Every structure is written in structure tokens, then in C-alpha cells.
Structure 1
Amino acid sequence: MKSFLISDNRDTWVGMRLAGINGIIIHEKDELLEALNAARKDEEIGLIIMTEKIVDLAKDEIMEFKLKVARPLIIEIPDRHGTMRSENAITNYIRESVGIRI
């Protein structure tokens, strides 16, 4: 299985390329949804890596995708400037996804 990066940041893209991960740089919501659908159709891609800013462009659509589609797995990473999320981001994600308060 391959990994694929969807980023808004050139530095993140270059870093991932150095690690052997292909990807694209985008800045618009429609480009993001197109890239997500194309990556989903590629049978070789098992992991989609997205920067936090990219996820924020289409948060609802990506959350729905995460909940309904088993493959590829989507993970969210900070860019080189660090995370924009609160320290309780994972707890909030679990609460939103599963409905369990931990």
C-alpha cells in the first residue's frame, strides 16, 4: 500500500517527497474534493495524509468520508509551523465520531 499527501504547504510536500511519499499541493475546496475522490479510487493508496489547514477546507465532507469509507485511511498532520489544534483535539474527535465522552 502507498501513502499519498494532500497539502497546502510546499515545505510539507517536499519533506514527504524526501521520505518517498507522493502528493499534491492544493488551496481550494473543489481541488481537495477532486483529489480525495481520485485517491480513493486508486487501489494502491491505503493512507491519505492531509495537513490541518487542508482538512479545515472541507471538514464535514472529510469527517463523513472517515466515518463511512474503510479504505483509504485518512490522517491529519500539522504542517511545519506546528499544530493549530487544541490539546484535547483527539478527545473531541472521539466524542464527535462515536458519541462517547472520555
Structure 2
Amino acid sequence: MRMYLLSDNDDTLMGMRMSGVEGVVIHQEHEVREKLKELMQQDDIAVILMTSTLLNLVRETVYDIKLNCPKPLIIEIPDRHGNGQTKDSISKYVKDAIGVEMK
């Protein structure tokens, strides 16, 4: 099983490549949707890492995948600017998925 990174910047991709994670740098909403669709068809992709910037472009699509598909696991990672919203998105996902609000 493999991990794959969807990033909006080269720095994050380079760091992940050093740890053996493949990925791609993309910027447009349609590119993100196309790549997600492609990755969903690959049985060996277990985890998709996405920078916060890209996840924000397709948030509803990602939540739909998380709630309705057993794999891959999609994980939001902070972008290089460290916007600090990752905790909030995890809390929203838990609330949407099981109805429990995290503080």
C-alpha cells in the first residue's frame, strides 16, 4: 500500500519525497478533482495526503469521499505557511461523521 501527496508547492513535495512518498504539485480545482478521481481508481493507494490549500478547493468532495468510501484515507496536512486550520477541519469531519463535537 502506498501514500500519495497532493501539494500546492514544491517544498512540501520535496520533503515528502525524501521520506519515500510520491506526489504531484497542482494548483487548480479541476486538477485536484481529476487527480483524486485517478487515485481513487488505484487499489494500491491507501493514504492521500493533501495540503490545506488544495483541500479547501474541494472540501465537500473530500468529505464525501471520507464518509462514503472505505479507502483511501485522506489526510489534510498544513501547508508551508502553517495556517493552523487543520485541527478545525478534523473536528468538523468527526462531527459530520459521528455527530460528536470535539473541543
Q: Calculate the TM-score normalised by the size of structure 2.
A: 0.89
Gaps spanning 5+ residues in structure 1: where? none
CA distance in 2, matches of 1:91, 1:59: 14
Identity of aligned residues (%): 37
CA distance in 1, matches of 2:5, 2:75: 10
Instruction: Give the AA of the match of 1:99.
Output: G
2:29 is matched with 29
Query: Any idea what SS the aligned residue of 1:100 has?
Result: coil
Moved over 2 A (4+): 86-93
Gaps spanning 5+ residues in structure 2: where? none
2:98 is matched with 98
CA distance in 2, matches of 1:39, 1:89: 22
| CA drift at 1:96 | 2.3
- Number of equivalent positions: 102
Query: Do the aligned residues in 1 keep the contact of 2:76 with 2:86 (CA within 8 Å)?
Result: no
> Are 1:84 and 2:84 counterparts?
yes
Query: Do the aligned residues in 1 keep the contact of 2:49 with 2:76 (CA within 8 Å)?
Result: yes
CA distance in 1, matches of 2:62, 2:91: 18
